[in-house]
Structure 1
Amino acid sequence: MNKSDTAPRSLGTRRSVASRSRLRTMMYWMRRWHLYSGLFLFPWVMLYGVSALLLNHPEAFPDQLRSRLDAGDVAGTGLDRLPSAAEVAAHLVSSLNDAPSRDEQAKHVYRLVAPESAAYSRDFIAARSRGEGEEHSVVLDLATGTGTVSTRTLSKDGRPPFPAVAPKSASSLAERVKKGLPLALGQKGLSSGESRITFGPELTFLVAVDGKTWRAIYNVQTGSLTGHPPALGGGLGTREFLTRLHLAHGYQSHDWVRIVWALFVDLMFATMVFWGISGLLMWWQMKSTRSIGGVILSLGVTVAFLLSLGMHQVLSTTR
């Protein structure tokens, strides 16, 4: 064999060695990034894990005294037979038919279609009730009327002197949004009728009444106004703090702390995607685990796909 025959083979060998060397270098740095990014964001991983547990299990690690409303407690109270989604829908349709019309000739006849498809967007309803020296937050199961009760002690001063619903004002935030939004959309060339706030922040402020200072909380969406003594209502419990951290997101705030927190939320997203992709690449490098790993990966993808289809159907019916 002459030199002209061996030259291309030697060149191909050198290229193959160089390619494997670059791959080893890339995998080395990927493993390092995988490790160090995990160490750096370990507190956020734990935070998201624990707070997700608290969101998924409202009864776990309560900040307040918790109790149950069992079937015996709700028997004969009306809560033991809450109307189903189909019953509420039928009542609403009946109300539409019974409502007076300005033009009798143009009166519409409404008919409920496929009542079995009526569904609540959630399986529970939250309510609040106050007694002497106590306030109860209740989560009721719509199917059974039973639920959980969180009780906290109010100030010994008694109930705060606030109305349940704040008096409306033409200059209030809700009224200005209600009246101004259709005008603003109209100026943009968009057709708009009645407007309302579907989600709004709570406004917290201090107010003095009869020589005492209260911490007032105004719900912009519902117009409800509640009051708490600053010593009892001014701080967040551990559970509420963690769950609110989990739900905090977005860059709309003008507070730099919230903006930095939103930045770390994005960083968590990017890093978790990187962990997934880099983990797959590192698994593929270990030939001895390819077969069993491929079976497990395929099983995971299949289960996730089927569950996603099921959840899509459930959420589509309650949209």
Structure 2
Amino acid sequence: MTTDKAPPRTKSRWPRKSRSKALMILRRVHLYIGLFLLPWVFLYGATGAMLNHSGLFPEAEISRVEASKLADSAWANFPDGAELAEQVLAAMRKAAPDSTIEVNPDQAPEFTNDIAFELKEGGTRHAVHLNPVDKSAWVAKFPENHEPFEPALKEIDRLQIAPNPFEIAKQTVPTALNHTGIESNGKIEPLGWCKLNFLAKVDDTPVRVTYVLRDGHVDITKYTGEDGYSPRAFFVRLHTSHGQPPHWNFRRIWSLFIDAMAIAMVTWGVTGLLMWWQIKRTRLLGGIVLSLSVVTAATMYYGMMHFYATTKL
């Protein structure tokens, strides 16, 4: 009678105890980063939806106008996408008679946005959005902003400072280029709007001064400690704030939290994958979901690439 001996177990290069400890650390990292950055998670989630949908958490009173109610107006004569494309092509052929211009039949003409107008009456602002596809419209009535910027020294619009600080910066550009091995005689064009902000007093009244280096324009408004934004506009502004100013201030600190959110989102993805893989019973279904995710993301990636290529937005 013979007995088969079980093959000796080979020791794992990474002991189970160490592996468990590492996974526990990853779980804690996943958890505590999420808890610390929870306000930013809520902020970017909510304000991202607000940017995508103007009617979400609105500060304005929105009224819908059905297409049938606009049928007797000039809006009834507005051409659809195909008609307007033909009109544009006809104008192009007239402007360039020696060229052959034809529309691509594989790409239907598409409008990018509503046609919007603004009307101000007193302290109330109205926005009118006309949908060129279904011919409907919606009107937004914005409440009066209780934190408006009140101008001071209205007689001052632009300042001429000698020597001109913007010209000093412009004259420095060739030197900066030369130190990077670039020699160019091309025209130097301004990029962006650098501003100098500071607080001052005008006749003992605190004011906020914003000086635009590019053209010397200056805004002087009374300073009351208010930001001039409605609550919705303020939170949307936080969502879109980006870049790092040259000074250490709260905006620059905010940019560090944006970096932290970027790192955290990648960390959550990686640690989430590791934690999912540790639960064997979820591997099959999770693998299917992950495969669908990759296919969907790739489809959207190439679809958006095509959209931007055809619209030049």
- TM-score between the two structures when normalised by the length of structure 1: 0.66
**1:55 aligned onto 2:51:** yes
Q: 1:292 pairs with 255, 280, 285, which one?
A: 285
**Percent of counterpart pairs with the same letter?**
30
2:130 aligned with 1:137: no
How far the C-alpha of 1:17 sits from its partner, in A, is 7.8
| Greater mean alpha carbon deviation, residues 285-294 or residues 126-135 | 126-135
The size of the alignment, in residue pairs, is 288
1:44-98 superposed Cα distances (whole Å, 9 cap, x missing partner): 100011001111110122112222343224742347615746256436525744x
Q: 1:53, 1:128 → 2: CA distance?
A: 23
Question: Residue in 1 aligned with 2:141?
Answer: 150
1:127 aligns with 2:117: yes
Change (3 A) 1:132 1:110: farther
* Secondary structure at the counterpart of residue 15 of structure 2: helix
Larger displacement relative to structure 2 (240-249 or 185-194): 185-194
More helix by share: 1
Residue matched to 1:46: 42
Q: Pick from 72, 78, 81: which aligns with 2:78? A: 81
CA contact (8 A) 2:277 2:283 kept: yes
Q: What is the TM-score when the length of structure 2 is the normalising length? A: 0.67
Superposed displacement of residue 109, structure 1: 3.6
User: Which amino acid in the other structure matches residue 146 of structure 1?
Assistant: A
CA distance in 1, matches of 2:71, 2:227: 33
Quick check: 1:114 aligned with 2:103? yes
Partner AA of 1:44 in structure 2: W
What is the match of residue 250 of structure 2?
A: 257
Q: How far does residue 127 in structure 1 lie from its aligned partner after superposition?
A: 2.6
Gaps of 5+ in 1: 1-8, 98-107, 161-166, 207-213
| Equivalent position amino acid for 1:247 in 2 | T
* Letter in structure 2 aligned against 1:31: R
Give the secondary structure class of the aligned counterpart of 1:136: strand
Quote the Cα distance in structure 1 between the aligned partners of 2:121 and 2:223: 19
Correspondence 1:1-319 to 2 at 5 A: 13=10, 15-16=11-12, 19-71=15-67, 72-73=69-70, 75-78=72-75, 81=78, 84=81, 86-87=85-86, 89-90=88-89, 93=92, 96-97=95-96, 109-114=98-103, 117=107, 122-131=112-121, 134-143=124-133, 144=135, 146-153=137-144, 189-190=183-184, 235-252=228-245, 254=247, 256-319=249-312
